[in-house]
Amino acid sequence: MIEVKNLVKDYGGHLAVDHLSFTIEDGQIYGFLGPNGAGKSTTMNIMTGYIGATEGDVLINGHNILEEPEEAKKCIGYLPELPPLYVDMTVKEQLYFAAELKKIPKKEREQAVSSVMELAKLSDVMGRLIRNLSKGYRQRVGLAQAVLGFPPVIVLDEPTVGLDPKQIIEIRDTIRELGKKHTVILSSHILSEVSAVCDHILIIDKGRLIASDTPENLERQMAGASGMELLVKAPKEEIVTTLESIPQAADVTVEESGEEGIKKVSIHLSGAEQEDGEDIREIIFFAFADQRLPILSMQSQKASLEEVFLKLTSEAEEENTMVIPETQEEIRETEDGEGEKEE
């Protein structure tokens, strides 16, 4: 289990991570989702002991990454955004070198290296120099390196960035395979990427956690952003009056459909008003039927996960517009985020 408690990273006045807390349970695939600059890499770098935090704690299986870095790091394999590879080494040399750094006992190294080469499908290129490998193969070497020794937790920062569609599918399959026996945390700014492989999604924006749930629950939670579109044969006033009796119909627009006497009705449904088990389609149907107003068509519009993501991140944006830098100095700091640079 990983516990991230009240994590803060301040890059000289620019809060890249802003009091972030979450828990990662064992044996699941977690997606760390957020737009560019949300603070994903910074958080992952802190969680894996690459850089320090300004405030807060990270406990990996009970070991504090700052106080017991060796114990904590033993539990984690990390693929950073730019995998550290020696271009003058062959794939095999690189992996043996990584095995040595990870203190895998000498007699176990051969077995450890060959099993990760098999997992990352590198056996055919084991003798090639890394400088001669394609981006996709380099990524696989980085992944193999992270997985070496099969630590319980695997952290992957944007594992598919820059890969072609075939390579993306291959890496996803490998991640799914890893997820059977390991806790996997991967970051991405692409929603479809995360929803394709993850059991749980953490959405982060401007260094803050704005949602944490299963992909299904996130979609359900957003039922409020869903709506209905109807074609109704009735005058506008009667449509509006009929819909006034339905509390869930929060926002209604009635337009000409193009066909005489038929109106196009768009209903925005308010999630807060919806009760479990009730089907809004039936409620709307009977409301119009009672008034003898024929519905000619009815279509539900469910919020996609993409919309959930956009809505949540834009809500966070709106909240943030309240914080206006006052001095020129603050403006400059906010714009370039310069400060204590860490590599």
Ligand X SMILES: Nc1ncnc2c1ncn2[C@@H]1O[C@H](COP(=O)(O)OP(=O)(O)OP(=O)(O)O)[C@@H](O)[C@H]1O
Query: Footprint of ligand X on this chain (CB under 6 A)?
Result: 11, 14, 16, 34, 36-42, 189, 337, 339, 341-342
Nearer to ligand X, 37 or 69 (CB): 37
State the nearest-atom distance from the C-beta of 337 to ligand X, in Å: 4
Q: d(Cα 109, Cα 123) in Å, to the nearest integer?
A: 15
CB of 313 to ligand X, least distance (A): 12
CA distances 35 to 38, 136, 190, 247, Å, are 6, 23, 8, 35
Q: Mention every residue, 6+ apart, whose C-beta is less than 8 A from residue 256.
A: 263, 264
Distance from the Cα of residue 61 to its chain's centroid: 22
Write out the DSSP string of 204-255: EETTEEEEEE-HHHHHHHGGGG-EEEEEEES-HHHHHHHHHT-TTEEEEEEE
Nearest to 233 by CA among 263, 267, 265: 263
Q: Give the angle 321-322-328 at the CA atoms, nearest 5°.
A: 80
Enter the tokens of residue 4: 């991230």
Closer residue to ligand X in complex, CB, 40/208:
40
Closest separation in Å from C-beta 207 to ligand X: 7
Provide, rounded to whole angstroms, the least separation between the CB of residue 182 and ligand X: 22
Measured from the CB atom, the residue of 152 and 337 that comes closer to ligand X is: 337
Considering the complex, state which of residue 325 and residue 339 has its C-beta at the smaller distance from ligand X.
Answer: 339
User: Minimum CB separation from ligand X for residue 202, in Å?
Assistant: 12
| 161 vs 231 by CB, closer to ligand X | 161
